[in-house]
Amino acid sequence: MLLSLLTLWLLGGAVQAQTPTPETAADATAIQLLEALDVSSYAEKGEAIEAIVRSDDERARDWLSALLDGRLQRTDEGRFVVVLDNIGRHWPVADALSGEPLGEMSRRELDRIGINNALRNQLRSAIAVVDLYSADLALRRASAERLLGEVDADLAGPLSELIEQESDARVRERLALALAIHRLEQGELAAIDHLDGSLHPRARVALSRAAAGADDELASAARSALNDIEQKLKLNRAAETLYFGLSLGSVLVLAAIGLAITFGVMGVINMAHGELIMLGAYTTWAMQQLLPGQPGLALILAVPAGFLVAALAGIAIERGVIQFLKGRPLETLLATFGVSLILQQLVRTVISPLNRTVVTPEWMSGSLVVNDALSLTLNRMVVLGFALVVFAGLMLIMRRTRLGLEVRAVTQNRAMARSMGIRATRVDILTFALGSGVAGLAGVALSQLTNVGPNLGQNYIIDSFMVVVFGGVGNLWGTLVAGLSLGVINQVLEPWAGAVLAKIIVLVFIILFIQKRPRGLFPQKGRAAEG
């Protein structure tokens, strides 16, 4: 517990200038402060902690932190040191006054200053208070966060003045919330007005305790506030489900969009499409091996590299297998399934059968905190944006380039396109390369969400076919809508039905849907589609 001396620190002692004194006198005072900690009485140690906080010594936080961690110790000669690393029999130590390294000392030469749980709580609060005066904004925010639920009567008054002095809105909000929690614990009805609508777990805990208390008026107001908070939590959970559903759907769109192109133009059921996704993911891993310590640059370079590797593999599959099986869908399915097994075994043999981890760049790590109940992971946000960019790029290619015009002509009526001078074989090669390259891009994106392994593509091939059939064969808009829709539906169903049952329900839904609309949400136009 922080007593009056800590209150004095809050009232301004931490920022007041001190009268210059000789270094020897300052060290003598510091030694007295530390010696006051080395006593058997825990009550006296608590007073010594308050004295250190009041001292305004710039080394105070380091001493308090070392004491909390058990690293503030005393040598046999009576010298105070801070243990830098307590592994092994000999520990590196530094002088507690000067910070000068003193080399290694045996554990037997050191005597730790012991503390109990009450002192630990006092130390955490004291360190948080000291940090509130730091010029480092991140340190002040972390300190304000630690004070939630830890404010006592000694801190309540000074915190009110500190809130008015603070320039950062987030620190002010956290300190006000911590103060409101304390006041609610003291039975103040007005504190509920501030806590009403707060999504922070500590605020909900305080309200729950008040709702179960003996004061009927306070309990009724707390229950009303909790009901309002619960409604807001439901909305935030729905938003989180929608976000994760859209991120999952974006992965399905990336995985399926290349399949939609090749399926629509060539009518080929390519069971090796999942392995093309896998090759894109392994390309990302390989780029990080070539550029160790630069995951961001490696990921950026992996985008064109993954597209190129998968596109070349797709051309090899089309020239080596598919061109000889045109018009024979069952044989094409079996042949490409064989190719998928070959590619999986090739990766197992050349690289490893074990999964590989791709490092996520720093700018894709962490999350965007919307409020205390909702945070959006940055890696999924980037993947969602990447999927939309790839989709927009494909739309430009299909609508604004000669290749896109020829692809649409061959898709709608291959015989008529040939009669107009379009080289359908060339279009098939380029289309298969484009669809395979997009599969490689899907692998690059997936490497940031899951481990990379030989079976990576198998987890998405069935879902990709479902997206293509549901959205409409060969229709990019249909693929986008179907992919995002199925992603959200899966995310909604999984919490109560489980992952396997959710997929079964989605599959049954698609089967029933196809009975009514055999050509999907956005049916293909043209004579070939009608035939």
Q: What is the pLDDT of residues 464-507, one digit of tens each?
A: 888 888 887 767 888 888 889 888 888 888 877 777 888 888 88
What would the pLDDT profile of 241-271 be if each residue is shown by its tens digit? 999 999 989 988 988 888 888 876 677 788 8
Q: What share of the chain is helix, strand, coil (3-state, %, to 5)?
A: 70, 5, 25
Coil, helix or strand at residue 91: strand
One-letter amino acid at 104 equals E
Do the domain assignments include residue 175? no
Predicted local confidence at residue 466, as pLDDT: 86
Average pLDDT over residues 88-116: 86
Average pLDDT over residues 370-387: 90
Classify each residue of 409-448 as buried b or exposed e, where b means 16 or more C-beta atoms within 10 Å of its C-beta.
bbbbbbeebeeeebebeebbbbbbbbbbbbbbbbbbbbbb
Residue that wins the pLDDT comparison between 153 and 284: 284
Predicted local confidence at residue 384, as pLDDT: 92
d(CA 99, CA 82): 8
Residue whose C-alpha is closest to residue 418's, from 303, 270, 528 = 528
- Specify which residues 73 forms β-bridges with: 81, 112
> Domain range spanning residue 502?
235-363+382-526
Predicted local confidence at residue 85, as pLDDT: 83
Which residues lie below 8 Å from residue 348, measured CB to CB, with a gap of 6+? 454
Query: Does pLDDT of 6 surpass 60?
Result: no
Do the domain assignments include residue 252? yes
Average pLDDT over residues 435-452: 90
Share of the chain above pLDDT 70, in %: 92
Predicted local confidence at residue 390, as pLDDT: 92
Do the domain assignments include residue 286? yes
Read off the pLDDT band of 311 (50, 70, 90).
very high
Read off the pLDDT band of 293 (50, 70, 90).
confident
Q: How far is CA 244 from the centre of its chain?
A: 11
Decide: 10 and 164 in contact? Cβ < 8 Å: no
Read off the pLDDT band of 24 (50, 70, 90).
low
Residue whose C-alpha is closest to residue 471's, from 414, 524, 405, 413 = 524
Predicted local confidence at residue 15, as pLDDT: 37
Query: Does pLDDT of 530 surpass 60?
Result: no
Q: What is the dihedral of CA 193, 198, 203, 206, to 10 degrees?
A: 40
Residue that wins the pLDDT comparison between 186 and 86: 186
The first and second tokens of residue 235, run together, are 């909305």
Average pLDDT over residues 386-410: 86
Predicted local confidence at residue 525, as pLDDT: 58
d(CA 475, CA 295): 35
Do the domain assignments include residue 514? yes
Decide: 157 and 33 in contact? Cβ < 8 Å: no
Number of domains in the chain: 1
Do the domain assignments include residue 166? no
Predicted local confidence at residue 527, as pLDDT: 43
Residue that wins the pLDDT comparison between 344 and 526: 344
CATH code of the domain containing 439:
1.10.3470
Decide: 275 and 343 in contact? Cβ < 8 Å: yes
- Specify which residues 258 forms β-bridges with: none
Burial class (CB in 10 A: 0-12, 13-18, 19+), 512: exposed
Distances 423 to 24, 91, 431 between C-alpha atoms, Å? 92, 76, 12
The structure tokens 């899966």 sit at 490
Predicted local confidence at residue 21, as pLDDT: 39
The first and second tokens of residue 125, run together, are 């609060």
Predicted local confidence at residue 382, as pLDDT: 93
- Least confidently predicted of 5-19, 70-84, 187-201, 335-349: 5-19
Predicted local confidence at residue 96, as pLDDT: 86
Do the domain assignments include residue 155? no
Query: Does pLDDT of 3 surpass 80?
Result: no
Q: Which range among 119-133, 243-257, 402-416, 472-486 has the greatest average pLDDT?
A: 243-257
Average pLDDT over residues 124-148: 80
Query: Does pLDDT of 154 surpass 70?
Result: no
Residue that wins the pLDDT comparison between 307 and 330: 307
Average pLDDT over residues 355-375: 88
Q: Which residue pairs, CB below 8 angstroms and at least 24 apart, start in 52-57? A: 53/2, 53/5, 53/6, 53/9, 53/126, 53/129, 53/130, 54/5, 54/6, 54/8, 54/9, 54/13, 55/29, 55/30, 56/9, 56/13, 56/14, 56/16, 56/18, 57/26, 57/29, 57/30, 57/33
Decide: 141 and 166 in contact? Cβ < 8 Å: no
What would the pLDDT profile of 35-76 be if each residue is shown by its tens digit? 888 888 888 888 888 888 777 777 888 888 888 888 888 888
Average pLDDT over residues 88-117: 86
Do the domain assignments include residue 139? no
Do the domain assignments include residue 113? no
Average pLDDT over residues 98-118: 86
Predicted local confidence at residue 531, as pLDDT: 44
Read off the pLDDT band of 145 (50, 70, 90).
confident
Read off the pLDDT band of 524 (50, 70, 90).
low
Query: Does pLDDT of 11 surpass 70?
Result: no
Predicted local confidence at residue 243, as pLDDT: 93
Phi, psi of 268 (to 5 degrees): -100, 130
Average pLDDT over residues 296-323: 92
d(CA 481, CA 497): 23
The first and second tokens of residue 219, run together, are 């309990």
Read off the pLDDT band of 2 (50, 70, 90).
very low
One-letter amino acid at 481 equals V
